Amino acid sequence: MIFAFAALLFVACDEVSVNNRLTYVEPPEVGRAVLIEDYTGQYCVNCPRATEEIERLVEEYGDSVVIPVAIHSGPFSKQKGVASPLHTEVGDQYFARWNLSAQPVGLVDRLFGGMAFAYTDWAGGVNYELTSSKAAVSFLIDADYESDTGSASFDVQTIGLDSVQVSGKLQVWLVEDSIDSFQYMPDGSVTEHYNHMHVFRASVNDPWGDDVTLNRGEVVAKNYDIIMDPQWVPEHCSVVIFLYDENGVRQVQKKKLIIN
């Protein structure tokens, strides 16, 4: 259970006096993970090349280190004004917020104020983050889907790791893997049964996140829930949780839904 973490912060023994039973323990260092926001579209002929680069980076670093989210948005998620099946209005809000234009394009940990990276530069951004910064926070997550209600709930504990106070926004996104839908390809053809991965479905909390402030060793607990769209497949869904501030994303984690 998520609350098991609390037991790790204290040492108790029958021989220890009552006054000394509650002892602060330094939070363990957590490996850095990197968020790639892939702004993509089903009508974007070059977007499959960006997907291939994401697959390469995930294979190189591991799926707990490189965490991509495919946000179907912008002009190549529509044709003649009609949105593609994977498009979201929230995705368009993000697309506009970061002043994006050409696709495919992405943000790597929202570096440099949310600077857009061509997919050929994503590897450099990932390497920069992994070698230049440590995780400022860590997360403990319970992610459950209740079949009888069609709702998912998320218990999130955010633990401060940085030596200085961290103030930022906690963001909770729902993503889905293995979606069978069409995709325009680099040779101009259309693949009717393309396997779309890590697709942004919804922001579980406010699209811009919730305010969180932590000192080292402090824990902030929050609970969220969402009614799942009947078209989403819970077995293929995960939650992506990250904390960001004006310097970028400070840590990110992904966890699959547990089906109850």
pTM of the model: 0.87
What distance in Å separates the CA atoms of residue 37 and residue 236, rounded to the nearest whole number?
A: 19
What distance in Å separates the CA atoms of residue 45 and residue 104, rounded to the nearest whole number?
A: 9
| Whether the predicted pLDDT of 24 surpasses 70 | no
For 97, list phi and psi in degrees, rounded to 5: -60, -40
Q: Collapsing DSSP states into helix, strand and coil, what is residue 180? A: strand
Cβ–Cβ < 8 Å for 34, 126: yes
- List the beta strands (DSSP E) in 65-150: 66-72, 78-79, 82-83, 105-108, 137-146
Alpha carbon 184 to chain centroid, angstroms: 25
DSSP symbols for 131-142? HH---SEEEEEE
Strand-pair category, 258-259 with 179-184: unpaired
Q: What is the pLDDT of residue 29?
A: 54
Q: What is the pLDDT of residue 172?
A: 98
Q: What is the pLDDT of residue 102?
A: 85
pLDDT in tens, 182-225: 999 999 999 999 999 999 999 999 999 999 999 999 999 999 99
pLDDT in tens, 139-184: 999 999 999 999 999 999 999 999 899 999 999 999 999 999 999 9
For 8, list phi and psi in degrees, rounded to 5: -75, -15
Residue ranges covered by each domain of the chain: 33-259
Q: What is the pLDDT of residue 10?
A: 32
| Whether the predicted pLDDT of 20 surpasses 80 | no
Please name which of 156, 192, 150 lies closest in space to residue 172, comparing C-alpha atoms.
156
Expressed in percent and rounded to 5, the helix, strand and coil fractions of the chain are 20, 40, 40
| Whether the predicted pLDDT of 107 surpasses 50 | yes
For residues 22 and 79, the model is more confident at 79
Q: What is the pLDDT of residue 43?
A: 97
Q: What is the pLDDT of residue 207?
A: 97
Q: What is the pLDDT of residue 80?
A: 86
The residue type at 17: S
Which token pair is 106? 């992405």
The runs of H, that is alpha helices, within 62-103 are 89-97
For residues 16 and 32, the model is more confident at 32
The residue type at 242: F
Which token pair is 134? 């440590």
Q: Name the fold adopted by 33-259.
A: Immunoglobulin-like (2.60.40)
What distance in Å separates the CA atoms of residue 203 and residue 108, rounded to the nearest whole number?
A: 19
DSSP symbols for 156-178? EEEEE-SSS-EEEEEEEEEEE--
Please name which of 26, 33, 22, 24 lies closest in space to residue 160, comparing C-alpha atoms.
26
| Whether the predicted pLDDT of 104 surpasses 50 | yes
| Whether the predicted pLDDT of 30 surpasses 80 | no
Confidence of residue 5 (pLDDT cuts 50, 70, 90): very low
Average pLDDT, the chain: 90
| Whether the predicted pLDDT of 6 surpasses 60 | no
- Gyration radius of the chain over CA positions: 20
Confidence of residue 19 (pLDDT cuts 50, 70, 90): very low
For residues 23 and 66, the model is more confident at 66
